Amino acid sequence: MPEGHTIHRLARRHNSLFAGHELRQSSPQGRFAASAAHLSGVRFDRVDAYGKHLFYRFAGGRVVHVHLGLYGSFVDGPQPAPEPRGALRWRIEHDDAYADLRGPTACELVDDDAVDRVLARLGPDPLRREASPDEVWRRLSRRSIPVGAALMDQAVLAGVGNVYRAEALHVNGISPLRPAASLSRAEFDALWSTVVTMLKAGVRAGRIVTTVPSDRSRRSGPARVEDAHYVYRRTDLPCRRCGAAIVSSTIAARTAYWCPVCQPGG
Ligand SMILES: [Zn+2]
């Protein structure tokens, strides 16, 4: 599932390609056809990213809410756009560029009240300037569930997925099994700082690289895939910090990875 950095990158990309244009819209697959026809030729103002949600705002207060879910993806490019094929839910385009959306969990025309209802279910998004760590702490510190589950709960904070969960907890020496309520404020503050830094780096790079060069097998050049993470998908491989075997277990329906020595307890 795309994490918050992917969603924010998409928003930046689509704003630079499409904001201010009256877009032609279609749904070759048919499932969004009526809404696409309704919005075709309407000026697109901007798209906002919030957690894993995208809100495409059009003149007249009309909004398209998109959630990619596990399988959704956008592709874009210059005109001429390719012939539509596959389950193409939503195409937006103008004379110079197009973007195609396939396989989203949500692609729906909504009003501001519906946007508010989606936002009301979400905790702060670390990639948004107004995000309040105090508010995340308030939501996290009263949960008895494992911190590895709380970090994935979009009502606690919005945008963190499985990779950032594993990596941010490892960097801070916190076991994903520890109850969220057992974290000290100092531990939380350090964890928050790591999450913000990692997500911003992900937006810049377009990929998740959490390791520093001195912790990689090849210390110069871009991080190779096998060097990009400390614990994510490294079950049974040695911890880059202490050499202990990385362990994994299912937490909040996804596989969590951690070092039992660097991240004790729980
Ligand atoms: Zn370790």
In this predicted model, what pLDDT tens digit does every residue of 117-130 receive, in sequence order?
999 999 999 999 99
Q: Which of 28, 52, 57, 93 is catalytic?
A: 52
* Model confidence pLDDT, tens digit, residues 131-165: 999 999 999 999 999 999 999 999 999 999 999 99
- DSSP conformation letters of 99-110: EEEES-SEEEEE
**Residue position matching structure tokens 């993806």:** 73
Strand order through the sheet with 62-67: 44-50, 53-58, 62-67, 106-110
CA-wise closest residue to 109 among 62, 52, 146, 154: 62
Could you tell me the CA-to-CA distances from 241 to 85, 104, 147, 235 in Å, in that order?
Answer: 47, 38, 22, 15
Give the pLDDT confidence score for residue 127 in this predicted structure: 96
Distance 246 CA to ligand 1 centre (A): 8
Selected catalytic residue, list 2, 28, 146, 176: 2
φ/ψ (deg, to 5) at 133: -60, -30
- Ligand 1 centroid distance, CA of 195 (Å): 19
Helix axes 162-171, 185-205, angle to 10 degrees: 130
CA of 100 to the centre of ligand 1 (A): 43
Strand 88-93, strand 254-258: pairing: unpaired
Cα-to-centroid distance, 234 and ligand 1 (Å): 12
Q: How far is the CA of 263 from the centre of ligand 1 (A)?
A: 7
Backbone angles phi, psi at 199, to 5 degrees: -65, -40
Measure 235 CA to ligand 1 centroid, in angstroms: 12
Let me know if 83 is a catalytic residue. Answer: no
Cα–Cα distance measured from residue 95 to residue 233, given in angstroms and rounded to the nearest whole number: 43
Give the pLDDT of residue 241.
Answer: 95
Q: How far apart are CA 60 and CA 240, in angstroms?
A: 53
SS3 127: coil
Q: Which two tokens stand for residue 7?
A: 């969603």
Q: Which among 180, 199, 163 has a CA at the least distance from the CA of 7?
A: 199
Q: How far is the CA of 201 from the centre of ligand 1 (A)?
A: 23
Q: Is the pLDDT of residue 68 over 90?
A: yes
3-state secondary structure of 137: helix
Among 1-5, 12-16, 143-147, the least confident range: 1-5
2 annotated active-site: yes
The pTM of the full predicted model, rounded to 2 decimals, is 0.91
Query: Residues 31, 43, 207, 254: which is the catalytic one?
Result: 254
